[in-house]
């Protein structure tokens, strides 16, 4: 599916501090009330990767899609540094999480969307920074769709996430975001009182049609509360 984007040399990249795409809602009448999907790509991805997924999940949502600023090995975009596969640089993760929350807040003013109606949609590294944002900057998101997420960090004090709706879709055979990781993250979010729906796919780390189908259904069912 092709999605029209804002101008290629986005004039707001510099203002907002992230290379990004912003796609307004095609439905102008729902422009003020609707959701904004914050699309967060996986390691090695970019701001274009998840645009078709975002549009498929919600045909009327605004889409905001930044590119991670860390360049692993000088060329692989990510949202935060890691020391090894699955071993995160927590100091950098905290810094990048706050930085990304600041980007969303500024973007809501520039693009005039409701900052109380932002849902993160993250895959792998993008899901991990989305989970970190729920734990460190909960006011930034009203909910999240997390594909193949791990425990990003455990904060000293758990936030109150009782108004957050979170969908997790994890792979039963995922060697990176393992079953135990997904269950631990789900438990952590639930201890913070979030409403978590964890669903399992018969897959590995890759995203499948079943993930997208399940996420779409969840979004339709939960939209009014997001
Ligand atoms: C991460 O680094 O966030 C996770 O290991 C997932 C990945 O990006 O490979």
> How many other CB atoms are found less than 10 A from the CB of residue 185?
27
Distance from Cα 43 to the centre of ligand 1, integer Å: 6
Name residues whose C-beta falls within 8 Å of residue 196's C-beta, 6 or more positions apart in sequence. 166, 167, 168, 186, 189, 190
Please report, for the chain, the start and end positions of each structural domain, with discontinuous segments joined by +: 13-225
Mutate to test the pocket of ligand 1, among 76, 125, 182 (most ligand atoms within 8 A of CB): 125
Distance from Cα 199 to the centre of ligand 1, integer Å: 20
User: What stretch of H or E contains 187?
Assistant: helix 179-191
> How many other CB atoms are found less than 10 A from the CB of residue 182?
24
Range list of β-strands (E), the chain = 20-23, 36-40, 62-66, 70-72, 76-78, 82-84, 87-88, 118-123, 143-147, 165-171, 195-201
> What residues does ligand 1 touch, defined as CB less than 6 Å away?
42-43, 82, 85-86, 124-125, 128, 150, 176
Strand partners, 198: 168
d(CA 124, CA 32): 30
Ligand 1 atom closest to the CA of 150, numbered from 1: 4
Ligand 1 atom closest to the CA of 88, numbered from 1: 2
Residue 152: C-alpha distances to residues 93, 155, 222 (Å): 8, 10, 25
Q: For each of the chain's 226 residues, which pLDDT tens digit applies?
A: 445 454 445 668 889 999 999 999 988 765 556 899 999 999 999 999 999 999 999 999 999 999 999 999 999 999 999 999 999 999 999 999 999 999 999 999 999 999 999 999 999 999 999 999 999 999 999 999 999 999 999 999 999 999 999 999 999 999 999 999 999 999 999 999 999 999 999 999 999 999 999 999 999 999 888 8
For domain 13-225, give the fold. Answer: Rossmann fold (3.40.50)
Residue from 155, 223, 150, 139 nearest 191 by CA:
155
pLDDT at 11: 61
Name residues whose C-beta falls within 8 Å of residue 57's C-beta, 6 or more positions apart in sequence. 37, 121, 145, 212, 215, 216, 219
pLDDT at 72: 96
């Amino acid at each position: 599916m092709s999605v029209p984007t804002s101008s290629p040399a986005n004039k707001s990249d510099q203002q907002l501090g992230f290379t990004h795409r912003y796609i307004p809602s095609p439905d102008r009448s729902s422009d003020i009330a609707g959701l904004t999907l914050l699309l967060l790509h996986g390691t090695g991805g970019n701001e274009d990767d998840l645009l078709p997924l975002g549009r498929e999940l919600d045909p009327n949502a605004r889409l905001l899609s930044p590119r991670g600023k860390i360049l692993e090995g000088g060329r692989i975009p990510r949202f935060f540094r890691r020391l090894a596969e699955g071993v995160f640089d927590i100091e950098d993760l905290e810094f990048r999480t706050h930085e990304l929350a600041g980007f969303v807040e500024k973007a809501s003013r520039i693009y005039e969307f409701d900052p109380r109606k932002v849902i993160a949609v993250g895959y792998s590294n993008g899901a991990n920074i989305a989970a970190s944002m729920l734990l460190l900057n909960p006011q930034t998101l009203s909910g999240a769709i997390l594909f193949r997420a791990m425990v990003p960090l455990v904060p000293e004090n758990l936030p109150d996430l009782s108004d957050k709706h979170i969908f997790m879709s994890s792979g039963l055979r995922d060697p990176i975001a393992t079953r135990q990781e997904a269950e631990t993250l789900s438990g952590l979010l639930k201890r913070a009182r979030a409403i978590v729906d964890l669903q399992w796919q018969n897959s590995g780390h890759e995203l499948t049609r079943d993930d997208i189908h399940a996420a779409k259904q969840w979004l339709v069912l939960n939209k009014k509360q997001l």
